[in-house]
Amino acid sequence: MKKANYKALLPIGVFLVLYLGLGILFEYVLKISMGFYNIPIVVIFLIALIVACVQNPALNFDSKLEIMAKGVGDKNIVTMILIFMAAGAFVGVVGRSSAESVAYFLLSIIPAEFAVLVLFVVSAFVSLAMGTSVGTITLIAPIAVAVANGSGFSVPLCVGTVVGGAMFGDNLSFISDTTIAACNGQGCAMKDKFRENFGIALPAALASLVIIFIRSMGADVGEAVANDYNLIQIIPYLLVLIGGIIGINVFVVLLIGIVSGSVIMLATGATEATSLLSNMGGGVSGMFETTMVAILVSAICALINEYGGFAALLQLIKKMFKGKRGGMLGMGLLVGAMDIATANNTVAIVMANPIAKEMAESYDISPRKAASVLDTFSCIFQGIIPYGAQMLVALSVAAELGQNVSAFDIIPNLTYPFMLLLSSLIFVFILPGKKK
């Protein structure tokens, strides 16, 4: 462990001040729609990297380049980047039309009075299969508004239920950015993290279903929402999901998904042969910003660690949190604070990873538990903050369909994130850990 040096944390402070400050200015002062997401996060990280390079003049620039190269060239970072690319190609090939098929299929066979429960289940399944909560909300929120208009349930309840279900899959999916970042940052297998995480997420999901059912009782229910669907297109998602759960190598699983998705999308006429490669390229391109963030953050963190910044932060955390349970709570609050500042749970995990890895070793927390805590707490905070992409997309979709609701109308209806927080605290403080 390096000698503690709090000044080495300056690049993180510069990033947080610039990103959070500009985000608040754009979103709430200048009233720019999706203000936080109009800020080029890669540029802000680049400024933070320049600050890190200027620090510690005792080291020449060539030495700093070597330190950064070792950080970026770490096996876990390289693996994470390659999985990002493969996951992007899979989503690009398969497309997103199958998500609506799942929703309309279930709405067609389940009575209208259970429509809100269907919205939660569909959102959870789609985000679990697709690995993106924002993509899920974009697809399912219009259906939620249609259900509210046609069935008599309130719009905030329907939309909030979709956001909650989307965060369930974001937390657990094998091809989610957050899962990839947490697992590779902590050096654990995805199947191990999934099993650890499932014990936290499932009770929260079941409790959410009960609460949603109780809240939706007594509504003046109208007719069910109906539309066409094609269930064959969900097969690639199921193959990826099953392959990940049984422990097949993630690259093999994604390759199976890409090949099966290509065959099915071509056979059903959902995609033209001439568009297949461009769709794949578009999916990979969608991961470029996340990939660049991973590279820049790993370089910044390598310098901060070399200067003694992580040693200082760990020293501070040890004073505040005692024992393994305290360490896990500290880890969760750390990634939560990063998420509040960045409004991006993947970026929050990437930033917290190196510090959390030091904490895991110091507090004797297994890699699978560390990855689970990071992913879970980041999803809790991301699902609740009113300026997160998930909330902003949901509000935007509702507004486009003539329903003007605010984030503070939706937040009381975010049953799942609050139940996940409760389940996580029980996991940390009440449930006994497994003996070695």
Question: Best-predicted range by mean pLDDT among 50-54, 225-229, 297-301?
Answer: 50-54
Average pLDDT for residues 186-201, to the nearest whole number? 89
The yes-or-no verdict on residue 155 having pLDDT over 80 is yes
pLDDT of the residue at 165: 93
Residues 76, 51, 73: CA angle, nearest 5 degrees: 20
> What is the percent of the chain with per-residue pLDDT over 70, rounded to a whole number?
93
Rounded Cα gap, residues 279 and 285, in angstroms: 10
pLDDT of the residue at 414: 93
CA distance from start to end of the chain: 26
The whole-chain average pLDDT of the chain stands at 84
On the 0-12 / 13-18 / 19+ scale of CB atoms within 10 A, 259 is: middle
| pLDDT (tens digit per residue) in 371-392 | 999 999 999 998 998 877 788 7
pLDDT of the residue at 417: 94
The yes-or-no verdict on residue 433 having pLDDT over 70 is no
pLDDT of the residue at 395: 84
Rounded Cα gap, residues 8 and 204, in angstroms: 39
- Asked if 422 and 171 touch (Cβ cutoff 8 Å), the reply is no
Residue type, 436: K
pLDDT of the residue at 288: 85
The yes-or-no verdict on residue 353 having pLDDT over 60 is yes
Average pLDDT for residues 179-200, to the nearest whole number? 89
Question: Best-predicted range by mean pLDDT among 32-36, 212-216, 432-436?
Answer: 212-216
Neighbouring CB atoms inside 10 A of 353's CB total: 27
**Between these two residues, 12 and 208, which has the higher pLDDT value?**
208
On the 0-12 / 13-18 / 19+ scale of CB atoms within 10 A, 118 is: buried
| pLDDT (tens digit per residue) in 157-166 | 999 999 999 9
For the chain, domain boundaries: 6-70+300-429, 79-285
Neighbouring CB atoms inside 10 A of 38's CB total: 13
pLDDT of the residue at 434: 53
Neighbouring CB atoms inside 10 A of 219's CB total: 17
Please tell me the least confidently modeled range out of 27-31, 42-46, 224-228, 427-431.
Answer: 224-228
pLDDT of the residue at 298: 85
Average pLDDT for residues 348-365, to the nearest whole number? 87
- Which pTM value belongs to this model? 0.78
Residue type, 23: G
- Residues contacting 133, CB < 8 A, separation 6+: 127, 163, 166, 167, 169, 170, 379, 382, 383, 390
pLDDT of the residue at 436: 45
| pLDDT (tens digit per residue) in 283-337 | 888 778 878 888 888 898 889 888 988 788 888 888 888 888 898 999 999 898 8
pLDDT of the residue at 168: 93
Rounded Cα gap, residues 413 and 407, in angstroms: 10
**Nearest to 81, CA basis, from 171, 185, 170:** 185
The yes-or-no verdict on residue 50 having pLDDT over 90 is yes
H-only helix segments in 268-406: 273-285, 288-307, 309-320, 323-342, 345-363, 367-384, 389-400
Neighbouring CB atoms inside 10 A of 57's CB total: 7
Would you place residue 49 in the very low, low, confident or very high pLDDT band (cuts 50, 70, 90)? very high
**Between these two residues, 199 and 106, which has the higher pLDDT value?**
199
**Between these two residues, 74 and 332, which has the higher pLDDT value?**
332
The yes-or-no verdict on residue 435 having pLDDT over 50 is no
